[in-house]
Structure 1
Amino acid sequence: MQATVTVTPAALPEVLLNVALVRPVFLWGAPGIGKSSLVRAFAESLGLECVTLLGTQLAPEDLIGVPQIVGDRSRFAPPESIARDEPYCLFLDELNASSAEVQKAFYSLILDRRIGTYELPKGSVVIGAGNRATDNALARPMPSALVNRMIHLHLRASVDDWLVWASANGVHRWVVDHLVQRPDHLWSPPPKTEEPFSTPRGWHMLSDALHAYGEAVDGDTLAVLAHGILSPVHASAFRAYVKTVRHAFDLDAVLKGEVAWPRDPQDRDLLFFLSEAFRARLAKDLPASKKHASPALQRLAFRAKALLIELAEISLECAQLVIATDDNGVPVLPSWFLIEVGRDLPRLAAARA
C-alpha cells in the first residue's frame, strides 16, 4: 500500500487516541522507524497492557485456539494470551507478513473483536502494523476484506521528533549532534541487496554501542560499528563527523576563518563531510530570493564564495559537490547564489592568485 497522507511520530498518539478506541487501526511504515515502540508507548499512556502477536510466528490455531469438550459439545478455547478479563492493547505486529490462513483468522478479531465465543473486554484496543512491499521487507498482499476492516495510517520518519526523543532518552551526543547537522541521514531507503541501511532504530543501536565502548573507541572499531549499522554513505559521514570532534575541525570555525579546510590526504573523508555540511548550511540559511537576505546572510554568501575557491584548490570534486544539483537535477542552493558563484569566482580566484 502506498502512502498518500502521512503522520509523524509526534502526531500519531493523538490520532490513535481518537480513532483506535473506536476502530481497529493498521500502521504502515518502513522498517526501523519506531512503529512498535510508538504503539507500546500509546498503550502505556492509556494504562493498558500491550500484548504483541507477531504475524510471522503465528499459525491459525494460535488465534482461534484448540477445540475442547464442554458438556456434550465442542468449542474452541482461545489462547490465554488473548482471552483476558481486563481491557488491553492487542498489537498485531507484522500482520501483513503472516500467511493467508492467519490473516483470515484475524477477520472476526479485527472487525467484531471476537474469537469464537470470547469477546475482547470493553475498552480494549486493536492495532496492526507492517512494512510496505516497496521496503523490500516480507509483506504479503492483504485481502481487500481485511484492508476494509481497518483504518490505515502511514507513518513517516521525522528527524525533529526523533531528536526530541533522543535528547530525552540518553542517546549518545555524537549521534544527536551529527543528525542535527545532517537530518537527511536519519533514514535511507532499504536497498535491494542485503546490506545495512540507516533508520532511527539503527542510530539508536549505534548509540548503545558507543556508550558500551566509551568515547575512547578507536577509529577501526568505530568503522566496524558504523558500517555494520548504517548505509555506507551515512557511515562514512558519521566517521568523518567524529573526526571533526576529535581534531577540533568545525564548520563554524571554517566559516569564521579560525581554521582552514583540511588538506592532509588522510583527512579526505573529513573534507567530504565538511563540504556536505557546508552545502547543507547554505541550503538551510540562504533565502530563495536575495532581496530577503539580511546583511548577515549576504556576508555569509560572500564568505561562501571565497571558501569555494579555497576548497577547489584542495579538491575540485568537493567544491563541485557543494553547488551540485540533487539526484533529480534540481538545484539545492538558491539560483541567485549560483549565478553569483558563476559570475564572481573567476574574479575572486584571480585576486587570490
Structure 2
Amino acid sequence: MDALAVAVTANLPVILWGAPGTGKTSSVLALGASLGLPVEVVVGSIREPSDFAGLPVIREGGTWLAPPRWAERLARAGRGILFLDELTTAPPAVQAAMLRVVLERTVGDLALPGEVRIVAAANPPEQAADGWELSAPLANRLIHLDWRVSAVSVAEGFTGGFAVPEVGMARAFARGGGPGEGAGGCVPAGAARARARRSRRACEGVAEPAHVGAGRDRGGLRAR
C-alpha cells in the first residue's frame, strides 16, 4: 500500500497484481479520498476499443474522435486517478487502445491533464477465470506490484494503511532512493518479475512520463 501511494504521488503508472476480491478497487478509492483526487473506475472486460481510442463523429466539417464520459469528467476536474480494473480481461484490441492512454495520457482527441494518475489492476494468470496475457508494450509502461492483503488492512477498511508521501520524497524514491531491488519500479521483485517484460528504454519511459519531465533534464526521474 505504501508503494502504491508512492507511485501515485510521483505520478507514475502502476499495476496491482492480486487475487480477485482482495480489495484492490477499494484501496484505490481510499487512496483517492486520502489525496483528494476523484477516481474513475474503467473495467476493461466491458469496454470497446473506441472507449479509449475515441468514437469517430462529424464535427465542424471534420472527423472528431470523441472521448468517453469518464475522460471528459477527468479533464473537467483537472486531476484524478484513472483506475483500469481487470486489465487482463480486456481483449487484445482493447489493450492496444489503452496503450496510448497510458503512454500519452490521450483519449481520442482529448489530452488528459498532467495531474491524472494511471492505476491498473489484474488477476494473476493462475487465479484468473478467463482473459488474455498482458501485452508486452503495455506491460513495459507500468510499475508492477504484487498485491498482498493483511487482516489489519481489511479491519481498517483500507483507509488507515496509506502513508501518503510528499511529492518530492515520492519522486526521489522513484529515482531509486528506496531500499531493495527495483525501488524505482524498473525491476519488479517476486512474481511480478515474470510478468514485466523490461527494457532499459521502457524503464526510463515509466520513470519519466513526458508531462512530468518537461523542462528538465531527461534523467531527472530516471529509474535505476
Matched, 1:71 2:60: yes
Normalised by the size of structure 1, how large is the TM-score?
Answer: 0.42
Cα separation, partners in 2 of 1:122 and 1:109, compared to 1, 3 Å: same
**In 2, Cα distance between the equivalents of 1:122 and 1:146?**
19
Cα separation, partners in 2 of 1:73 and 1:37, compared to 1, 3 Å: same
One-letter amino acid of the counterpart of residue 112, structure 1: E
One-letter amino acid of the counterpart of residue 85, structure 1: R
Find the counterpart in structure 2 of residue 57 from structure 1: 46
Unpaired runs of 5+ residues, structure 2, are 161-224
Greater Rg by CA: 1
Q: Secondary structure at the match of 2:45?
A: helix
Q: Secondary structure at the match of 1:104?
A: helix
Matched, 1:38 2:27: yes
Shift of 1:158: 1.6
One-letter amino acid of the counterpart of residue 5, structure 2: L
Give yes or no for contact 2:19–2:123 (8 Å, CA) kept in 1: yes
One-letter amino acid of the counterpart of residue 139, structure 2: V
Cα separation, partners in 2 of 1:49 and 1:73, compared to 1, 3 Å: same
Shift of 1:165: 4.2
RMSD (CA atoms): 1.9
Of 116, 127, 145, 2:119 maps to 127
Q: Secondary structure at the match of 2:70?
A: coil
Instruction: Give aligned-pair identity as a percent.
Output: 34
**In 2, Cα distance between the equivalents of 1:53 and 1:136?**
18
Give yes or no for contact 2:84–2:119 (8 Å, CA) kept in 1: yes
**In 1, Cα distance between the equivalents of 2:157 and 2:133?**
33
1:165-196 deviation line (CA, Å, top 9, x unaligned): 49x9xxxxxxxxxxxxxxxxxxxxxxxxxxxx
User: Higher strand share goes to which structure?
Assistant: 2
Give yes or no for contact 2:71–2:107 (8 Å, CA) kept in 1: no
Find the counterpart in structure 2 of residue 109 from structure 1: 101
One-letter amino acid of the counterpart of residue 36, structure 1: T
Of 117, 126, 148, 1:156 maps to 148
1:241-275 deviation line (CA, Å, top 9, x unaligned): xxxxxxxxxxxxxxxxxxxxxxxxxxxxxxxxxxx
Normalised by the size of structure 2, how large is the TM-score?
Answer: 0.64
Unpaired runs of 5+ residues, structure 1, are 1-11, 169-353
User: Higher helix share goes to which structure?
Assistant: 1
